[in-house]
Amino acid sequence: MEASPELQPIVRRLLWADVVAEVVIAFLLSGILGSPHEWLDVSALATYVATGVFLVGGAAIAVAAWRPSTSRDFVQQLGLANVIGGAAVWTIGLVFWGRFSVEGRTLVAAIGDTLILIGILELVALWRTNPNRNPDP
């Protein structure tokens, strides 16, 4: 089995950006800066669980960003998961749009857009740094 090529610095930096995004989202959902459970018309427990999910995700991605053996396949799966997760946030947000306050709508849009953007950036960085890609002439 052939060893996976080492990740390029831009891909590692995007992994660290993903960690920051996950932690910021967790911070926003934690209620430190307001009442996201009221904005989203859900229980406080729901936002605390979501906070925990994003913190655990951020910690796992930090480990991956730090480890030299993190594979391109892992980053590809992470990028796809971010895009799908962002689309899911938007889909759920649109279904319940009328229940949300203005702050809740803004929060849903920010989280959905952030996840989609970081996922696309990770996928594009992988494509641009693919050692088997034919560069433009």
Instruction: List the structure tokens of 20.
Output: 């920051």
For residue 106, what pLDDT is reported?
97
Backbone angles phi, psi at 36, to 5 degrees: -60, -30
Record the pTM: 0.92
pLDDT in tens, the chain (137 residues): 445 678 999 999 999 999 999 999 999 999 999 999 999 999 999 999 999 999 999 999 999 999 999 999 999 999 999 999 999 999 999 999 999 999 999 999 999 999 999 999 999 999 999 988 776 65
The reported pLDDT for the residue numbered 1 is: 40
